[in-house]
Amino acid sequence: MYLLERINAMVREQGRAVGESIVNVDTLLNHRIDYTFSAYAGTILARVVRGQTIDIIFTAEASGISVAVFTAMSVNNEQWPHAAAVVFAKKSRPITLPEGGYYEIDSFSRTKNRPIKLYLGKHVIPAGARVFIVDDFLAQGTTLAALGELVQQAGATIAAFGVVVEKTFEQGRRELARFGAPVYSLVKVTGLAGGRLELAPPSLD
């Protein structure tokens, strides 16, 4: 449990409350990437799917990518030579995704405070793949649910959801319940009273 405790300590030390609803960890994940933190998170997230065959680690552009990469490294150490690929949904459609060659879903960005679309090329997640959806935050569950719907559009299976920071007071797990997949979080923020992060004791449930 040492790494899980260290992850929680790093969020407690460097995380900041913005108003009553936003957790800022931009010195760890969202602006400056602390690769030690991402490596710790990826190591722990890989443990929750240990014993399963994972084909894809899936996240959204861009803050979840570093954690997804380290998660894949740890997963692949366990299931070598079957390597899981990292895939991220794009927030704008490049010209390399032609009409008819992608899935798309509407979502909402809390940090940008506006609706967004997520795009997934039809060629990057094969039908039948087992997908571990990983992201930096679980708040109201909108981004993770959108990722889940993209996985379903691709005809793949969601093995689990894994996030670094969960704001438990925003009840995002309710939004994810319809997918029937387990949800794991490393840091559980229970409140932001007085501009301070209140954290639950470290656990993986």
Q: Is residue 204 part of a domain?
A: no
Mean pLDDT of the chain, nearest integer: 95
pLDDT value of residue 114: 81
Q: Is there a domain that residue 12 lies in?
A: yes
Domain containing residue 176: CATH number: 3.40.50.2020
Residue 205 forms part of a structural domain? no
| Residue scoring higher pLDDT (18 or 20) | 18
Identify the band that residue 113 occupies on the pLDDT scale cut at 50, 70 and 90.
Answer: confident
Specify the pLDDT at position 109.
77
DSSP-derived secondary structure letter, 90:
B
Question: Which residue type sits at 36?
Answer: T
- Per-residue pLDDT averaged across 36-46, rounded? 97
- pTM value is 0.95
**What pLDDT is stored for residue 108 in this prediction?**
84
Strands 183-191 and 198-199: antiparallel
70-111 pLDDT tens trace:
999 999 999 999 999 999 999 999 899 999 999 999 998 776
- In whole angstroms, give the CA distance from residue 63 to residue 41: 13
**How many C-beta atoms lie closer than 10 Å to residue 192's C-beta?**
20
Question: Strand order of the sheet with strand 183-191?
Answer: 85-89, 56-60, 130-138, 157-167, 183-191, 198-199
Task: Identify whether 74 is part of a domain.
Answer: yes
Q: Quote the number of domains for the chain.
A: 1
Over pLDDT 70: what percentage of the chain? 99
- Omega into 62 within 30° of 0, i.e. cis? yes
Domain ranges, residue 65: 2-199
Q: Is residue 106 part of a domain?
A: yes
Catalogue the E-assigned strands of 65-156: 85-89, 102-109, 114-121, 130-138
Cβ atoms 191, 169 nearer than 8 A: yes
**Is the pLDDT reported for residue 193 higher than 90?**
no
In a domain, 85, yes or no: yes
Within a domain: residue 34? yes
Q: Is the pLDDT of residue 1 over 70?
A: no
